Amino acid sequence: MNRVINFNAGPAAIPLDVLKQAQEEMLDWNGTGMSVMEVSHRSKEYEAMHNEAQDLFRKLAGMGPEWKILFLTGGASTQFFMIPMNFLHSGRKATYLVTGNWSKGALKEAKRFGTCDAYTTENPDGTFTRILKPSEFSIDPNSTYVHMTSNNTLFGSQWHYWPETGSVPLVCDMSSDIFSRPFPADKFSLIYAGAQKNLGPSGVTVVAVKDSFLQLAEEQAKLPTMLSYRTHADNNSLYNTPPCFSIYILSLTLKWLDKNGGLEAMQKINEEKGRIIYSAIDASNGFYRGPVEKDSRSLMNVVFRLDTVEKEELFVKEAKARGIVGVKGHRSTGGIRFSMYNANLVDNVAKAAQFMEDFRKKYS
Amino acid sequence: MNRVINFNAGPAAIPLDVLKQAQEEMLDWNGTGMSVMEVSHRSKEYEAMHNEAQDLFRKLAGMGPEWKILFLTGGASTQFFMIPMNFLHSGRKATYLVTGNWSKGALKEAKRFGTCDAYTTENPDGTFTRILKPSEFSIDPNSTYVHMTSNNTLFGSQWHYWPETGSVPLVCDMSSDIFSRPFPADKFSLIYAGAQKNLGPSGVTVVAVKDSFLQLAEEQAKLPTMLSYRTHADNNSLYNTPPCFSIYILSLTLKWLDKNGGLEAMQKINEEKGRIIYSAIDASNGFYRGPVEKDSRSLMNVVFRLDTVEKEELFVKEAKARGIVGVKGHRSTGGIRFSMYNANLVDNVAKAAQFMEDFRKKYS
């Protein structure tokens, strides 16, 4: 077995201990004599795991029982329309804070359902190189919610403060940095995240929604049954068959997180990883150039350029020869991207920084 | 390792060879040095597997290149509304053939979008004990499509002929008997199936749609992006991150099916399994009573009753002691149910029949 250093942006690295446990239990999960994939979602064994994962999610997030934890499918892209479909009814309006490609996509879907105020940091060339400053937006108190995306995988930026929204509920797409650092759950009303970056594999999307906000949702009868949050909240995400295996890997990942110190420990580790890589960029005398403004830099997705596309291709190739994969930037942006989610250890990041240094010496 | 005989209705038994391969490759899939869960869905390794699964699906189903094979999420319940949302626009109508709980659910969602003719075999007490006879329905040629459910997991009935729909496209929910027998693909325009019965684990829904039918779908711009079949067809089900691991297990299950003789071989095996269990019922002198009319009996889900609920509970308990699990009927119907999908071998079914015989002798 020759495991690589995996900087994929998502699906991404999963803790080795999680994979080993899944491997060990593949033919006989929890003494059932079946794989977890073969167990009924109505069985007490499955439900115990499902409920335990919800409880652990609440514990790690510092959420009380007023939060419903839903396990849905369709990725964050499905939440882009489910949120306005459920909450932007009856002539209501919402406010969107647009700081990257994904929040722009969320706004596009919301406009189908109602009026949206939008504030953006999009540059004239379509790129995003920073998040919004507090002075650059104001929240209409008549907004039903404010939507933001805490971290931008494509452009490598991240919110390092939480916007003040007054009494307006805050909705956040945390797909790419959830549980990488503590956050004040009380400030939010709905948080969602595709699991395939910091929480496990693709195939499950976690939606945490506060009871008080759920009260504002459209009546269940007015929506297709599967598109109403109420359906899933009322049935503990077991209205129909959930994506059991993805939830199982999520549950193991949450246990791993908890065992390793929870969100505060992750924050320290992620800050250390960020320090290592951004130092390598900043100390390179322009050999590596990070386009994102310093106070908006992401600790999850580090994006940088070399001076030619050819050199970037060479970088990708030589990284691979060193066992470092997934470093090619998003197809729409080019460049280099290191995605360093929780499962990427400091040691791996240090090796990547060493490679950057060696590559620079060889080619500068 | 003590594997049980697994009669779960879904999620259900998966071929042991499939699980063993998944176990073996858990830490290093296909020489990538990563689990298949950690690989980018934009990588050539992932795309090759994804495309190969589509090709193998077409091959097994006898479908030509005019069929798009989509890998979606949200289960059959999501297809219940996506089909009318996409096809029942502009004042069109559809025809629903209702022979069980799931087709009834599909009709309920369709009525939100347009007019539906419906023909049903529902009994006054809400049960279904047979499918429709050809003389019991007629298809309005102005229907945009006819919807049917080929097998009813809850009540244990199955269509043993295909309805004549003339020029009206036939849409079929095959979730619980897909690939258990050959079927004339040409007769259909759209087929869908949650994978968790005959195709693998939960978390992925296969939708096969003919190009000519897709032409009738609502314009993409008029629907939330993720709810348009066109989005997924145009992007080879890679518009956003698909449920990679579920698709991987699906791909291994399709290979297992192909290696074991494809649909004709499965049909023979499933007929033999059905013969064994239905003989045990019919030879029991009324100790076991199958409510479904003989020509509507399902080869996938065998449903029967004992004379008291207490005896049924005892049956479930003693079956479990023999290593036979998942035999309790659906919570809405009670009774006993053996779900015998492709991964359940004749040998296991024979052991279950032996148990039925032993139990009958002990308690009759």
In sequence order, what DSSP letters do the residues of A46-107 get, joined into one string? HHHHHHHHHHHHHHHHT--TTEEEEEE-SHHHHHHHHHHHHHS-TT-EEEEEE-SHHHHHHH
Check pLDDT > 80 for residue B1: no
Q: Is the CB of A28 less than 8 angstroms away from the CB of B244?
A: no
- Which of B12, B32, B202 has its CB closest to that of A242? B202
- What is the nearest CA distance from A196 to chain B, expressed in angstroms? 8
* Chain A residues whose beta carbon lies within 8 Å of the beta carbon of residue B227: 81
In this predicted model, what pLDDT tens digit does every residue of A196-244 receive, in sequence order?
999 999 999 999 999 999 999 999 999 999 999 999 999 999 999 999 9
In angstroms, the CA A99 to CA B27 distance is: 36
Among the listed residues A166, A151, A185, the one whose alpha carbon sits nearest the alpha carbon of residue A340: A151
In this predicted model, what pLDDT tens digit does every residue of B146-158 receive, in sequence order?
999 999 999 999 9
What mean pLDDT comes out for the span B4-32? 97
Which residue from B minimizes the CA distance to A329?
Answer: B42
Three-state SS string across chain B, please?
CCCCEECCCCCCCCCHHHHHHHHHCCCCCCCCCCCHHHCCCCCHHHHHHHHHHHHHHHHHHCCCCCEEEEEECCHHHHHHHHHHHHHCCCCCEEEEEECCHHHHHHHHHHCCCCEEEEEECECCCCCECCCCCHHHCCCCCCEEEEEEECEECCCCEECCCCCCCCCCCEEEECCCCCCCCCCCHHHCCEEEEECCCCCCCCCCEEEEEEHHHHCCCCCHHHCCHHHCHHHHHHCCCCCCCCCHHHHHHHHHHHHHHHHCCHHHHHHHHHHHHHHHHHHHHHCCCCCCECCCCHHHECCCEEEEECCCHHHHHHHHHHHHHCCEECCECCCCCCCEEEECCCCCCHHHHHHHHHHHHHHHHHHC
Rounded to 5°, the CA angle B345-B346-B350 comes to: 125
Q: What letter does residue A206 receive in the DSSP assignment?
A: E
Pairing mode, strands B324-325 and B5-6? parallel
Tell me, what's the pLDDT at B80? 98
ipTM value for the complex = 0.98
In this predicted model, what pLDDT tens digit does every residue of B39-68 receive, in sequence order?
999 999 999 999 999 999 999 999 999 999
Substitution target from A80, A218, A245 for chain B, most B beta carbons within 10 A: A245
What separation in angstroms does the CA of B206 have from each of A40, A261, A307, B48, B343? 20, 40, 44, 17, 18
Q: Is the CB of B242 less than 8 angstroms away from the CB of A202?
A: yes
* Chain A residues whose beta carbon lies within 8 Å of the beta carbon of residue B14: 35, 37-38
In angstroms, the CA A5 to CA A348 distance is: 6
Structure tokens at B27: 């830490």
- What is the nearest CA distance from B6 to chain A, expressed in angstroms? 8
Q: Residues 320..339 of A with a Cβ closer than 8 Å to B: which?
A: 323, 325-326, 331
What number does CATH give the domain B261-363?
3.90.1150.10
| CATH 3.90.1150.10 residue ranges for chain A | 261-363
- Which of B4, B10, B39 has its CB closest to that of A34? B4
Which residue from B minimizes the CA distance to A24?
Answer: B23
Residue A158 β-bridge partners: A151
Q: Please indicate if any CB of chain B lies within 8 Å of the CB of A279.
A: no
In angstroms, the CA B84 to CA B95 distance is: 11
- Per-residue pLDDT tens, chain A, 364 aa: give them: 689 999 999 999 999 999 999 999 999 999 999 999 999 999 999 999 999 999 999 999 999 999 999 999 999 999 999 999 999 999 999 999 999 999 999 999 999 999 999 999 999 999 999 999 999 999 999 999 999 999 999 999 999 999 999 999 999 999 999 999 999 999 999 999 999 999 999 999 999 999 999 999 999 999 999 999 999 999 999 999 999 999 999 999 999 999 999 999 999 999 999 999 999 999 999 999 999 999 999 999 999 999 999 999 999 999 999 999 999 998 888 899 999 999 999 999 999 999 999 999 999 8
List, in order, residues 6 or more apart from A337 with CB less than 8 Å away.
A7, A9, A156, A301, A302, A303, A304, A327, A328, A329, A330
C-alpha B252 chain-centroid distance: 17
- Tell me the backbone φ, ψ of residue A24, rounded to 5 degrees: -65, -35
Substitution target from A226, A253, A341 for chain B, most B beta carbons within 10 A: A226
In this predicted model, what pLDDT tens digit does every residue of B267-309 receive, in sequence order?
999 999 999 999 999 999 999 999 999 999 999 999 999 999 9
Rounded to 5°, the CA angle B137-B190-B261 comes to: 105
Question: Looking at the annotation, which residues of A are catalytic?
Answer: 102, 173, 197
- Tell me the backbone φ, ψ of residue A143, rounded to 5 degrees: -65, 140
Tell me, what's the pLDDT at B134? 97
In this predicted model, what pLDDT tens digit does every residue of A26-54 receive, in sequence order?
999 999 999 999 999 999 999 999 999 99
In angstroms, the CA B253 to CA B197 distance is: 11
* Chain A residues whose beta carbon lies within 8 Å of the beta carbon of residue B196: 241
Taking CB atoms and an 8 Å cut-off, how many pairs form between chains A and B?
A: 208
* Chain A residues whose beta carbon lies within 8 Å of the beta carbon of residue B3: 27-28, 33-34
In angstroms, the CA A249 to CA B37 distance is: 10
Q: Is the dihedral of CA B65, B66, B70, B75 positive or negative?
A: negative
Rounded to 5°, the CA angle A240-A77-A60 comes to: 70
**Cα distance from N-terminal residue to C-terminal residue, chain A:** 35
Substitution target from B16, B38, B220 for chain A, most A beta carbons within 10 A: B38
Query: Given pLDDT bands bounded at 50, 70 and 90, which one contains residue B332?
Result: confident
Structure tokens at A69: 């934890």
In angstroms, the CA B308 to CA B335 distance is: 9
- What is the nearest CA distance from B323 to chain A, expressed in angstroms? 9
Q: Please indicate if any CB of chain A lies within 8 Å of the CB of B224.
A: yes
In angstroms, the CA A255 to CA A240 distance is: 25
Q: Which residue is it, tokens 């009670």? A: B334
Task: Give me the count of residues in chain A.
Answer: 364
In this predicted model, what pLDDT tens digit does every residue of B115-158 receive, in sequence order?
999 999 999 999 999 999 999 999 999 999 999 999 999 999 99
Structure tokens at B123: 């009994």
- Which of A13, A226, A241 has its CB closest to that of B194? A241
* Whether residue B211 lies in the annotated active site: no
**Contact (Cβ atoms closer than 8 angstroms) between residue A235 and residue A72:** no
- Tell me the backbone φ, ψ of residue A172, rounded to 5 degrees: -135, 125
| CATH 3.40.640.10 residue ranges for chain B | 16-259
Instruction: Work out the number of other CB atoms within 10 angstroms of the CB of residue B166.
Output: 11
* Chain A residues whose beta carbon lies within 8 Å of the beta carbon of residue B77: 225-226, 239-240
Percent of chain B exceeding pLDDT 90 equals: 98
Tell me, what's the pLDDT at B333? 85
What separation in angstroms does the CA of B31 have from each of B50, B191, B288? 17, 34, 52
pTM of the model: 0.98
Tell me, what's the pLDDT at A331? 83
The CATH architecture annotation of domain B16-259 reads 3-Layer(aba) Sandwich (3.40)
In angstroms, the CA A231 to CA B74 distance is: 13
Query: Given pLDDT bands bounded at 50, 70 and 90, which one contains residue B331?
Result: confident
Q: Is the CB of A75 less than 8 angstroms away from the CB of B225?
A: no
Check pLDDT > 90 for residue B2: no
In this predicted model, what pLDDT tens digit does every residue of A262-281 receive, in sequence order?
999 999 999 999 999 999 99
Mean pLDDT rounded to a whole number for chain B:
97
* Chain B residues whose beta carbon lies within 8 Å of the beta carbon of residue A10: 40, 241
